[in-house]
Chains A and B, each alone.
Chain A
Amino acid sequence: MESIYWPTFFFWLFSLISCSFAVGVLLASNIVRMAFYLVLSLASIAGLFFLAGADFVGAMQIMIYVGGTLVLLIFGVMLTSQERFIEMKTPSGEWVIAFFIGASLLGLLFQVAQGVPAWQGMDRLEAEAIAVEKTATPIGMGLLGVRVDKLDETDKSRQAGMSGYLLIFEIVSVHLLVVLIGAAYLARAKRKQNRENLASVT
């Protein structure tokens, strides 16, 4: 038997963690536990990103998702955590329907995933020969509009994807700004109204 190929080992480890905690999110009925499982699941997905050679995106995943978005989520949980919302039961019938639908969807996706020959793993020797490159610089340059990773692309038909992502980057920035303002407005305006409601009740 050949020796263990460690990236594969870690792949199975991380995928096991992420999948089982994703199932945990699905099955847990306590919202606080769900949030905790989600954190673990997303963190191990970052591990999968590293294994696929996407170091920068993996880091982003940890920082933005685990560090940012989830904190936001947990704030949401805390803000709305009244006793009766912590555990909300779903009717049994929906679980059964969801089970069957989910199983068929999963079967479908698995079939597709297995159906493409080029997606199977490559040879071990070939895989070990691939050099690992850092991706932070090319991504940064790509966002600025220069694709340093495709400078030597000669095929004309492939140059369409070579243009940089500067415009998109700008759009996303503006988008984020709009979201920031919008979210703040949405969350803030109603609270005032609510206070008035409360006042009128009391």
Chain B
Amino acid sequence: MIHLPLAHLLSEPVGVSHYVMVGAVLFTCGVLCMATKRNALGVLMGIELVLNGANLNFIAFGSHVLRNDVNSLGLDGQLMAMFVIVLAAAEAAVLLAIALNFYNNHNSIDVDRADELLG
């Protein structure tokens, strides 16, 4: 018979790998956002997505609900995630300042125009 994995998809608990996969999707979306957006703020949003993907991994590694053994990161995972959130906020503020600065100087937020360092 054809074996459908969907049958017990909802009745079994998820594991760390599911979280890691969701994190991977967010991470990839974020990287591609950074790689394809020409708007500096779009790049900033890409960075936020990447950080959240990483955060999700930290939480998953530290969660005792997903993996209840001694090799779990435990509370350290959550603390890491918290620092990431806080630093992301700081980074957003600085990047925003840079973006505004750039906008004021070039009258544009197209990152393709930020190529003064090109030799």
Contact = CB atoms under 8 A, between A and B. Distances in A.
A/B: CB atoms within 8 Å of each other: yes
Interface string B75-106: 11111011101111111111011111101110
A45 B32 CA distance: 19
A172 B14 contact: no
Interface string A162-184: 00010010001001100110111
SS of A interface (majority): helix
Interface in A21-76: 22-23, 25-26, 31, 34-35, 38, 41-42, 45, 48-49, 51-54, 56-57, 60-61, 64-65, 68-69, 72-73, 75-76
Given A15-B22, A94-B35, A142-B79, A5 B87 contact: no
Nearest to B35: A98
Given A72-B96, A121-B12, A80 B41 contact: yes
A5 B100 contact: no
B22 A102 contact: no
B84 to A, nearest CB: 10
A144 B35 CA distance: 40
A183 B117 CA distance: 23
Interface size class of B (residues with CB under 8 A): 35 or more
A42 B47 CA distance: 12
Contacts, number: 277
A52 B36 contact: no
A73 B56 contact: no
Interface residues of A, number: 99
Residue picked from B19, B76, B78, most chain A C-beta under 10 Å: B78
A191 B93 contact: no
| Shortest 7 CB-CB contacts between residues of A and residues of B | A121-B15, A109-B24, A186-B97, A2-B11, A119-B16, A119-B17, A52-B63
Interface of B: 7-22, 24-33, 35-39, 41-42, 44-46, 48-49, 52, 55-56, 59-60, 62-71, 74-79, 81-83, 85-94, 96-101, 103-105, 108-110
26 contacts: A22-B25, A22-B26, A23-B29, A26-B36, A52-B63, A57-B81, A69-B88, A73-B44, A73-B92, A76-B100, A80-B41, A85-B108, A102-B31, A106-B25, A109-B20, A114-B17, A116-B16, A121-B13, A121-B14, A139-B75, A142-B75, A158-B70, A161-B74, A172-B87, A187-B97, A187-B101
